[in-house]
Amino acid sequence: MAIDEVVILENSSVLYDELMAHRLGLLPLKTDLERYILPEQCDCRSPLGCPKCRVLLVLDAQARDRVVTIYSGELVSEDKEVIPISDKIPIVKLATGQKVKLEAYAKLGRGKDHAKWQPVSASVLTETGKEDEFELYIESVGSLTAPTILSKAAEILHDKLNQFATAKGLA
């Protein structure tokens, strides 16, 4: 899951709205693939989604008397499971008196659409030297565990192959 829509209620920081949204989008969130579905598969048809296809995270931060760095830990999620994998990611720095208030909607998505939905930071397929034997190394960013990634990927691949076979009349 990654933040995909941000409703900015107030932003007096030096970071523009679009940059703030960009940074928020890149925060890796702990994801449970079982509990949420892709927005396009959801029947809610709402631009901001419904509890089935999105998680709301809220940020309300302010620098009162000094420069303050706002970290990912300050995001309040409506789902305790779906939170940034680290609470030390700086989102923005605020000068005294500056304020940020926003609602961020995290959704499931595909890495093909945006790199923020890529679950891995390295996936390396290498030849072992033996015939028809390869080694696959997967390093997770942290939103999903490596085994989940692999099994989910295999599942998707399987589905795709089935679809292909059905379309070709092979099945």
Task: List the one residue from 7, 26, 50, 165 that touches other proteins (CB under 8 A).
Answer: 26
Out of 137, 156, 157, 165, name the contact with other proteins by CB under 8 A.
Answer: 137
Q: How many angstroms separate the CA atoms of 155 and 76, rounded? A: 32
Q: Does 130 bind other proteins (CB under 8 A)?
A: no
Stretch that binds other proteins, among 29-37, 50-58, 95-103, 148-156 (CB under 8 A): 95-103
Residue 5 pairs in a beta bridge with 105
Helix (H, G, I), strand (E, B), or coil: what is residue 123? strand
Q: Is 96 in contact with 66 (CB distance < 8 Å)? A: yes
Contact status: 122 vs other proteins (CB under 8 A): yes
Residues 6+ apart with CB under 8 A from 118: 111, 141
# of chain residues touching other proteins (CB under 8 A): 44
Q: Is residue 127 close enough to count as binding other proteins by CB under 8 A?
A: yes
Task: Report how far residue 74's alpha carbon sits from residue 102's, in angstroms, rounded to the nearest whole number.
Answer: 12
Residues that bind other proteins (CB under 8 A): 14-19, 22-23, 26-28, 67, 72, 85-90, 92-93, 95-98, 111-112, 114-116, 118, 120-127, 134, 137, 139, 141-142
